[in-house]
Amino acid sequence: MLRRISFTVAIMVILSVGKGHADKPFIIVQSTTSTQNSGLLDAILPEFEEQSGIEVRVVAVGTGQAIRNATNGDGDVLLVHSKPSEESFVADGWGVQRFDVMYNDFVIVGPADDPAGIAGRSDVVAALSEMAKSQTVFVSRGDDSGTHKAEQRLWSETGIDVNAASGTWYRETGSGMGATLNTAIGMQAYVMTDRATWISFGNKDDYQIMVQGDPRLFNQYGAILVNPDKHPNVKADAGQAFIDWLTGADGQAAIAAYQIDGQQLFFPNAVQ
């Protein structure tokens, strides 16, 4: 396990190593699309970069792709939201240690006329079962993202084989959350999304949150340093400095302060 050092000491080490080089030090963060699409990273990264002198370059893709990229050594830090996959990434030796960073939740949104009659439900599995029973169109990302993984776990609890329904009432976009929301709205279909992306989404039409509040919709985000023993190109000190900032007082405060229209999008919960 990589020993955590203070953020200030880590930055002094990193900058002293880089002294004399014209290029600004940087790290690559493989992250889920929701942290980027919601505007969170654009809001908080300038503060880290100003404090540390380290530029953060973000590759925003679905969680599954982000993990594959990190496994290939194409990045220094992983910031995603599928805890079982993150734990496997560490257990398999590709990551050093996983840290909780923040959470929000998933919601199911749909058109105002609510053809499946699920508005106001808090039991997400019952709501999904009702959609399947009525064969009301549901649009899935279908891209191995954290949202897709969570959705698949929920469908498995219904006992319904959505793969068998693919192309009928169950549709898959193979795209990111924004494109999937646009597709669902165009089809007047239901869709599951993380709340942060929904709040920041600009093309809501008459869509409303139909299902929320089920504990099974909890959405945890974690950060992991890519293992430098597997990939010597990993900038371990700079990457860990970023994780220490995210999980420290300044990063947690920056996450909590990010709002859109008075609504907080992410809730910090790192263990201090």
Pick from 196, 176, 188, 183: which is nearest to 41 by CA?
196
24 band by pLDDT with thresholds 50, 70 and 90: confident
What Å distances lie between residue 177 and 47, 118, 121, 140, 157, CA to CA?
27, 22, 22, 9, 23
In this predicted model, what pLDDT tens digit does every residue of 126-146 receive, in sequence order?
A: 999 999 999 999 999 999 999
Fold observed for domain 7-104+220-268: D-Maltodextrin-Binding Protein; domain 2 (3.40.190)
Could you state, in order of their start, the residue ranges of all structural domains in the chain?
Answer: 7-104+220-268, 106-217
Task: Name the token pair of 246.
Answer: 């995210």
* Distance separating the N- and C-terminal Cα atoms of the chain: 17
Look over the chain and give the mean of its residue pLDDT values, rounded to a whole number.
92
Find the helix or strand (DSSP H, E) in which 146 lies.
Answer: helix 146-158
Return the amino acid letter for 132.
Answer: A
- Contacts of residue 49, defined as CB under 8 A and 6 or more positions apart, other chains included, come to 55, 56
- Contacts of residue 31, defined as CB under 8 A and 6 or more positions apart, other chains included, come to 41, 58, 59, 60, 61, 66, 78, 79, 80
Given a contact cutoff of 8 angstroms between Cβ atoms, the answer to whether 188 and 156 are in contact is: no
Q: Is the pLDDT of residue 17 over 60?
A: no
Same-fold call for 7-104+220-268 versus 106-217: yes
Homologous superfamily of the 106-217 domain (CATH) = Periplasmic binding protein-like II (3.40.190.10)
**pLDDT of 68:** 97
CA dist., res. 242 & res. 55, Å (int): 10
- Contacts of residue 91, defined as CB under 8 A and 6 or more positions apart, other chains included, come to none
Pick from 140, 149, 147, 131: which is nearest to 173 by CA?
140
Task: Name the token pair of 271.
Answer: 């263990």
In this predicted model, what pLDDT tens digit does every residue of 50-84 receive, in sequence order?
A: 999 999 999 999 999 999 999 999 999 999 999 99
Could you please report the per-residue DSSP string of 169-212?
A: TEEE--S-HHHHHHHHHHHT-EEEEEHHHHHH-S--TT-EEEE-
**pLDDT of 21:** 44
CA dist., res. 17 & res. 31, Å (int): 26
In this predicted model, what pLDDT tens digit does every residue of 140-170 receive, in sequence order?
A: 999 999 999 999 999 999 999 999 999 999 9
In this predicted model, what pLDDT tens digit does every residue of 188-209 receive, in sequence order?
A: 999 999 999 999 999 999 999 9
What's the pTM?
0.88
Q: Is the pLDDT of residue 13 over 80?
A: no
CA dist., res. 133 & res. 118, Å (int): 12
The residue-averaged pLDDT of 234-240 equals 98
What Å distances lie between residue 159 and 4, 156, 213, 221, CA to CA?
43, 5, 21, 27
